[in-house]
Amino acid sequence: MPYTYDDQNIFAKILRGEIPNDTVLETDHALAFRDITPQAPHHVLVIPKGPYVSFDHLAKEGSDAEIAGWTRAVGQVCQMLGVSVDSGDGYRLICNSGAHGVQEVPHLHAHILGGRHMGRMISKS
Ligand code: 5GP
């Protein structure tokens, strides 16, 4: 089944400027903004500007420039937040994908969570 992108999803509306956001970084290929319901002292979402539903979608159909641009934006935000491994205490990077990944917004986003110890990776349930 082909990937289908819903251009009415909330992050598409943020990209079009229809909904405000607390921007941390904007580049040619990515936008990073603070999560509206932060789960940690630092909780930033990094999205590609292209219409990709999930990580695997970007990896399969994105251009090298889009993939590199989004990946580098994630790293840049880690540096900006002071959580990167070279100069900070680390972070957790999450891309919830699809039904089993419990993805709520169907536009690829990396959650960067940091500023506290993040505990176990996932619950067993
Ligand atoms: P998912 O479960 O899809 O990985 O996570 C979606 C995330 O988007 C959630 O953490 C939620 O708090 C965040 N979110 C949902 N709507 C908005 C919004 O309008 N603005 C911002 N900044 N974050 C949102």
Q: What is the CATH number of the domain that holds 50?
A: 3.30.428.10
The range of the structural domain enclosing residue 92 comes to 10-114
Annotated active-site residue 109? The verdict is yes
| 123 lies in some domain | no
Tens digit of pLDDT for each residue in 95-106?
Answer: 999 999 999 999
CA distances from 31 to 1, 12, 45, 63, 82 (A): 28, 11, 8, 17, 18
Rounded Cα distance, 87 and 103, in Å: 31
| 2 lies in some domain | no
**How high is the pLDDT of residue 1?**
78
pLDDT interval class at 5 (50, 70, 90): very high
If one residue of 15, 104, 109, 112 were mutated to test the ligand 1 pocket, choosing by the most ligand atoms within 8 A of its CB, it would be 104
Q: What is the mean pLDDT of residues 33-59?
A: 98
**pLDDT above 80: residue 8:** yes
Rounded Cα distance, 98 and 100, in Å: 6
